Structure 1
């Protein structure tokens, strides 16, 4: 278990949210370390990952298979064609690692929670402002999965925008991020990723692109690949968690604390587009 987990445990949260910058090797590994350490103590853990909820039935079907069949089945569950870092090799290996531990007797479950799982859910949330429908669907999907069994911990790995505990204003509207809709604040600990320099796999506007209010961004304007990650400082410390302000890391009131990864490295898509 990484240093600092005791600060989280003292609060006895129902949900621990790890906000990440997508596309690093280190963030999924960190969440895997936490999940495996908890399972090693005999605790029942649900790991929620930001894959489309429409593919969750396929995730669950793969989860029930033997190790020799799991990877092939998982690759067919919505990984191909998405290049924003969510479907990275590191994310894939996180699930393979958790499945292996489950097969060895660990009490670990998974859920894919991103976006509306069906048309009925989409319809129920469509009146929310801005990105609110997407955030509300994420939250409900995690909540529903968390009630399927008695879990000691629910660990959520998600882009750090969704992990914020304050409303977000964008393009003339204000919406609640997923963390605000998931549960009361005292049931949640939300952590932002902090790291030194390195790289990440992400999608950015191509060099030289000039953005204007009336210009729609097209697929050809975006470049996906390994890019430099500027970092948040260099603590020269092994990965850890802190719910307390720490010199060298900017305090952010949108989160309860942060998890430190050290240097980061980009992780390419697990299933290439072609």
Structure 2
């Protein structure tokens, strides 16, 4: 992170865990300790930018948090989880301490089919151009974080592939162990079931980041140092509960 040529450090997220937002917050703190100004970029609706700024300037009371949740809208895929709202509260605390930190939301609205990736990249680059000295620390779903199309989805050019390669580093989690809160289709169910789903058994190894030369999709990988635990939506697990 001390390499000032790096403008974008993109963290591939597996939505719905408690650990990845904490890991991301620690990356932000490490960059600030190195003297970098940081733009924390989240996969939240760009339409909620004003509400996010209001929350960052607030006292972080329960009514402030509820107003932010309302502005973010209903989502059960982990992007508006308790852990993600806790991350926002940590960013609010850093701002209150006088740290130079900005927050950008890059989930576009009303884009044409297939246009989401380029729209996300455009929003990210616009934020970077407004504050060119910032390190843009980006937390997005791991498909968006790929630097080239996944062979299983060859027609999808991911968000990170639209960014300048020389100034971009992408990392993805080592493994999916433990549980994560997300929505999956199940046999006999008319709608996806949203709950804490078990991931494959195993141990992720020590907490670390390592580069992976030769990987066509990511520049490196990271481990949170423990199996994942599920983080449920901030309010209810189904849209009807919100």
| TM-score (structure 2 length as normaliser) | 0.87
Q: Deviations over 1:62-82 (max 9, x none)?
A: 223333464243222224x21
Separation of aligned partners in 1, 2:185 and 2:176: 23
8 Å contact 1:42–1:107 — kept in the other structure? no
* Deviation (angstroms), 1:102: 0.8
Q: 2:145 aligns with which of 153, 163, 169?
A: 163
What residue in structure 2 maps to residue 214 of structure 1?
none
Q: d(CA) in 2 for partners of 1:235 and 1:199?
A: 13
Query: What does residue 195 of structure 2 align with?
Result: 225
Matched residues, number: 236
Match runs of 1:49-198 below 5 Å: 49-68=42-61, 70-79=64-73, 81-116=74-109, 122=111, 126=112, 131=114, 133-168=115-150, 174-181=155-162, 183-195=163-175, 197-198=177-178
In 2: Cα distance, 1:41 partner to 1:70 partner: 31
Report the Cα distance in structure 2 between the residues aligned to 1:189 and 1:13, rounded to whole angstroms.
7
Deviations 1:12-71 (A, max 9, x none): 311000011110011111010110222234421001110111222222232233334642
> Structure 1 regions of 5+ residues with no counterpart?
1-7, 210-219, 246-250
Alpha-carbon shift at residue 170 of structure 1 (Å)? 7.2
* Aligned CA distance change for structure 1 residues 93 and 243 (closer, same or farther; 3 Å): same
Give me the whole-angstrom Cα distance separating, in 2, the residues matched to 1:40 and 1:221: 46
CA drift of 1:154 comes to 0.5
What does residue 33 of structure 1 align with? Answer: 26
Aligned pair 1:263/2:232, yes or no? no
The answer to whether the Cα contact below 8 Å between 2:205 and 2:223 also exists between their aligned partners in 1 is: no
**Alignment CA distance shift 1:31-1:74 (3 Å):** same
Q: Which moved more, 1:10-19 or 1:138-147?
A: 10-19
1:20 and 1:64 map into 2 onto residues whose CA distance is: 26
Quick check: 2:128–2:134 contact (8 Å CA) kept in 1?
no
Contact preservation (8 Å) 1:35, 1:47: yes
Give the greater-gyration-radius structure (CA). Answer: 1
What is the Cα-based RMSD across aligned positions, in Å?
Answer: 2.4
> Residue 174 of structure 1: CA displacement?
1.4
1:141-185 CA-partner distances (Å, limit 9, x unpaired): 1111122224431000000001111124778x713110011x211
Question: Which stretches of structure 1, 4 residues or more, deviate above 6 A after TM superposition?
Answer: none
Distance 2:152 2:116 in 1: 14
Alignment of 1:4-23 (within 5 A): 9-10=2-3, 12-23=5-16
Deviation string, structure 1 residues 179-230 (Cα, Å, up to 9, x no partner) = 011x211110000112362000011112456xxxxxxxxxx33101100011
